[in-house]
Chains A and B, each alone.
Chain A
Amino acid sequence: MKPLTKEQLAGLAQLVGATQEHELNCHDCLALAAEFAERQLAGLPLNEALTRVEEHLAVCPECREELLALKKILQANG
């Protein structure tokens, strides 16, 4: 394994720092992603379950990438 870069180290530290005792997993996040994206784009408040989506996105770059793509579709569809 190559030495980790500053960015990777910072990423690891931030992941550890953002870790919560109870977190959604990717499957739970996907189930809530549509509601989360619609409410976020509409500027509506998030309930507790959707706040946990936000916490999951902080530690999961893959779900973050997918949510961005979903929002892109919603924005394109007006």
Chain B
Amino acid sequence: MVAEEVNWPAVLRGPDNAAALAGLRAVLLNGLRVALRERGDVNDAHLEDFAQEALLKVLARLDQFSGRSKFTTWAHAIAINVAFAELRRKRWRDVSLEALLADGRELTEPATLGRDAAGDDEERARIIGALRTAITERLSPKQRAVVAGLLEGMPFDQVVDLLGTNRNAAYKLVHDARRVLKEQLVAQGISSATIRAAFAP
């Protein structure tokens, strides 16, 4: 086992890195065990697979380690990302692009994005009404589809796959959609503070 104080990037890059690789893999596996302990859908074989995939990603990204955190914390963050992305994907594997686009179209329907669900609160109903108008009038079909998918709980990686794009491009699509919606609300006198106050838990 390699000690925590070791210079991980250096030993992992070294010619005799077998012990370092095994050590880091064990560290990642232990971390995943802790992080996913309460999930019923994860067994030992999954954990081993996640740890192996994470190890490969860590090695591929060694140059990106900035040294502003412990190396193992940085590696754990990558392992968590690998594991959660795969677990989210599994749940939504059978959803199609057509279904996603259909959900996006339906997002403009009063039955889907209804003022009724805002309850008796007048301010909430006003905000929901303004949101629906903005979604209908200002978002592209693709933006509506992505917003609908995310509201349904679809993982972001799945949306990225369905759209056949990359994660950064998909994030930009969603960010642009949120910005447009916000601009529309602000134009109607609905500020971020108003929204926060109306929808505070």
Q: Which residues of A contact B (CB under 8 A)?
A: 1-6, 8-19, 21, 23, 25-27, 30-31, 33-35, 37-38, 59-60, 62, 65-66, 69-70, 72-74, 76-77
Contact A4 B179 (CB under 8 A): no
- List B contacts of A19 (CB < 8 A): 175, 178-179, 181-182
Select one of A6, A25, A62 contacting B118, CB under 8 A.
Answer: A6
Q: Is the CB of B76 within 8 A of A70?
A: yes
Interface residues of B in 132-187 (CB under 8 A from A): 147-148, 151-152, 155-156, 167-168, 171-172, 175, 178-179, 181-182, 185
Q: Which residues of B contact A26 (CB under 8 A)?
A: 156, 167, 171
Q: Which residues of A contact B74 (CB under 8 A)?
A: 34
Which B residues fall within an 8 A CB radius of A? Answer: 31, 34-36, 64, 66, 68-70, 73-74, 76-78, 80-81, 84, 88, 102-103, 106-107, 111-114, 117-119, 124, 127-128, 131, 147-148, 151-152, 155-156, 167-168, 171-172, 175, 178-179, 181-182, 185, 192, 194-196, 198-199, 201
Structural contact, A13 and B76, CB atoms closer than 8 A = no
Chain A residues with CB under 8 A of B181? 16, 19
- Select from chain A the residue with minimum beta-carbon distance to B178: A19
Taken together as a complex, chains A and B put the C-alpha atoms of A34 and B172 apart, in Å, by 24
Contacts of B31 in A (CB 8 A): 73, 77
A59 to chain B, nearest CB (A): 7
| Contact partners of B175 in chain A: CB under 8 A | 19, 23, 25
Residues of B with C-beta under 8 A to A38: 69-70, 73
Complex alpha-carbon distance, A27 and B168, angstroms: 7
In the complex, what residues of B have CB within 8 A of residue A5's CB?
117
Q: Can you name 28 A-B residue pairings with CB atoms under 8 Å?
A: A3-B112, A4-B113, A5-B117, A12-B147, A13-B127, A13-B131, A13-B198, A13-B199, A14-B199, A16-B131, A16-B181, A16-B195, A17-B192, A17-B195, A19-B182, A25-B168, A25-B172, A30-B77, A34-B68, A35-B69, A38-B69, A59-B178, A66-B77, A66-B80, A66-B81, A73-B34, A73-B35, A76-B34
A residues near B113, Cβ cutoff 8 Å:
3-4, 9
Q: Are B84 and A65 in contact (CB-based, < 8 A)?
A: yes
Knowing that A13-B131, A17-B199 are A-B contacts, what are 4 other residue pairs whose CB atoms are under 8 Å apart, sorted by A's residue number? Answer: A3-B111, A4-B114, A19-B182, A73-B35
